[in-house]
Chains A and B, each alone.
Chain A
Amino acid sequence: MLRFIAVRVFRIVPIVAGVVTIIFLIFQLVPGDPAVLMAGPMATEEQIATLRHAIGLDQPIYLQYWDHLAGLFTGNFGYSLTYKGSPLGEILLRLPATLALAATAIALTICLGIPAGVLAALNRDHAADYAISFSVVALLAMPNFWLGLVMISVFSVDLGWLPSFGFAGWRSVIMPALALAARLIALIARLTRGVMIEELRKDYVRTARAKGLPFHTVVVRHVLRNVLIPTLTVIGLQTGYLLGGSIVIERLFAWPGIGDLLINAVGLRDYNLIQAITVLFTVGFLLVNLVVDILYVAANPRLRHA
């Protein structure tokens, strides 16, 4: 197992390097002279030159690339125009907010999505199944920011139950996490329902029933476990969606996380910061995938040599 983990961890290094390279290339396409653009119209030639030097734009491209790559691996995210230096401090300050939002969204997905799917599968073709399937279809079609707006309108403005913005106590996380998780809850409910129905058809269920075990015992002891492995794996793999979705949701709820920082950076044309956050999101996604991958194989020893 250790060997397997080592191989997987080792394999991710070139992937990270490759992705960082691609993102670096995308940001080379910024039109015009980035230093002039970033320094703004108030800047003197001298200030532009200073900035160009600070960012390293006066160096040949391969050296810039090397600095960029080395910078990421040493945790120095390059020169941010907004922070007059490395934005690492700001990113670390904002990371907990994004993590809290994503963690709450995952928790909501597990707590709502899986039970809904199980319920639908157990009541297949009955009212509960139809109601849940209908909700799934509806939720998958609603943009999360629209859902968030409707929630703000109802729960904050009309009813005054929940704070509508910011990062202040556990109550403030409910609406953004729910808006963010909605799509995932729907996907997971649908997936759980499908897997569960497959699973209920399998021989071991029939055998267990034939042995006289009550239905709910079979479900709880055997079926659920087999349903949970793929379901939880998929939830892990959907972190990419969560990270992307959090950008819009953080903006909507003024949630002081990384996604909000990204949109601020876009507004201020702080390209190095945009680039750093793009890399951060991607690497974060890769790492979560790695962990899920390892856990998945750990749970299915047969796959280890596949």
Chain B
Amino acid sequence: MSIAIDLTPARAAGSFYLRIGGAIVGFYTVLAVIGSIIAPYGANDQDLLSALDPPSLAHLFGTDALGRDMLSRVIIGTRFTLTATLVSVAAALIAGVALGIAAGYLEGRIAAAIAGFIDLLLTIPSLVLVIAIASVIGAGLFGLILAISITFVPPMARLVRGRVLELKSEDYVEAARAIGTSDLGIMRRHILPNAFTVIVVEASLAAGQAVLIAAALGFLGLGVQPPAPEWGTMLGAGREYMQRAPYLVLCPGIAISLLILGFNLLGDGLRDRFDPRTG
């Protein structure tokens, strides 16, 4: 009863998507690394006398209610969002791959139990699960990462399990088993490399989702503590000033959308390159 949504773009678009997506994600990664060096101001430098200044040469994205430079906050916020995204996706990846391979490759009760557990977690709508976990753990970077990664484990595990089940019946795996290769050896040498492409594609799309969820939590006020320049939180704070200073909502919104776009295009492009079946 699972129908994968076919997101595949026209084939010619695939490599174009890959390049654009890669460029965007690369751009953000560079910003995350050198952001605090190239930002014209500090993320929390206040200048009350120039509060709510509209965009100008001195402040390209304008200033917020405390006179903080929005451009600098957006740039420096990159590191935060990207860290939260990559750490939570990586954590989900490790746990999801381990669970997925175990559930797919092992046989018997344990595998069935793991698969059942994954399926159960999958039935909780992801944002609902994130909010439930965030409400239990409390606001902050750690809670954010934990909530997002827990949410991403089940879909990742399910995907990997499906791929492993497919691979398991392939001739070369059966052959490896026949010559007495150990389970771990088979997983490491045959299953993991072959499931790799699926995992990479999924991770890239999940990263886009993670950016979205982090921003949504920030917007709801469940994300990080101020004055951290988190985009969703900035957007939530800026909405009050929307009439007077719309750029406070526009700038972080565009930053979020562009990064999600990058991850989405990257994922689509990767899928197109790696996975000829869905061409």
Contact = CB atoms under 8 A, between A and B. Distances in A.
Interface of A: 15, 18-19, 22-23, 26-27, 29-31, 124-125, 133, 137-138, 140-143, 145-146, 149-150, 152-153, 157, 187, 190-191, 194-195, 230, 233-234, 237, 240-241, 243-245, 247-248, 251, 262-263, 266, 269, 271, 274-275, 277-278, 281-282, 285-286, 289, 293, 296
Nearest to B243: A157
Given A18-B120, A187-B7, A194-B6, 10 more contacts: A133-B9, A141-B208, A143-B215, A143-B256, A145-B219, A237-B3, A240-B123, A247-B131, A248-B127, A296-B1
Contacts of A141: 208, 257-258, 260-261, 264
A230 B117 CA distance: 27
Given A187-B5, A248-B219, A243 B128 contact: yes
A233 B220 contact: no
A146 B120 contact: no
Nearest to B254: A146
Interface centre among B7, B131, B257 (most CB of A within 10 A): B131
Main SS at interface, chain B: helix
B131 A149 contact: no
B124 interface: yes
B136 interface: yes
Contacts of B123: 15, 19, 240, 282, 285-286, 289
B125 A137 contact: no
A137 B265 contact: yes
Contacts of B1: 289, 293, 296
21 contacts: A26-B132, A27-B132, A29-B137, A133-B9, A137-B264, A137-B265, A138-B257, A138-B261, A143-B232, A143-B253, A153-B243, A157-B242, A190-B7, A240-B126, A244-B126, A247-B220, A266-B135, A275-B132, A278-B132, A282-B123, A285-B125
Contacts of B257: 138, 141-143, 146
A278 B124 contact: yes
B64 to A, nearest CB: 16
B42 interface: no
Contacts of B132: 23, 26-27, 274-275, 278
B146 to A, nearest CB: 11
A286 B120 CA distance: 10
A183 B242 CA distance: 23
A140 B9 CA distance: 13
Contact of A266 (B117, B131, B250): B131
A146 B235 contact: yes
Contacts of A140: 260-261, 264
Nearest to B126: A244
A243 B125 contact: yes
Nearest to A153: B242
A157 B244 CA distance: 11
Contacts of A19: 120, 123-124
Nearest to B124: A282
A293 B232 CA distance: 36
Nearest to A265: B135
B111 interface: no
Given A133-B9, A194-B8, A278 B120 contact: no
Given A26-B133, A146-B256, A244-B126, A234 B3 contact: yes
Interface in B112-131: 116-117, 119-121, 123-129, 131
Given A26-B136, A143-B253, A149-B253, A248 B216 contact: yes
Nearest to B1: A293
A150 B138 CA distance: 29
B101 interface: no
B249 interface: yes
B199 interface: no
Nearest to B222: A266
B216 A145 contact: yes
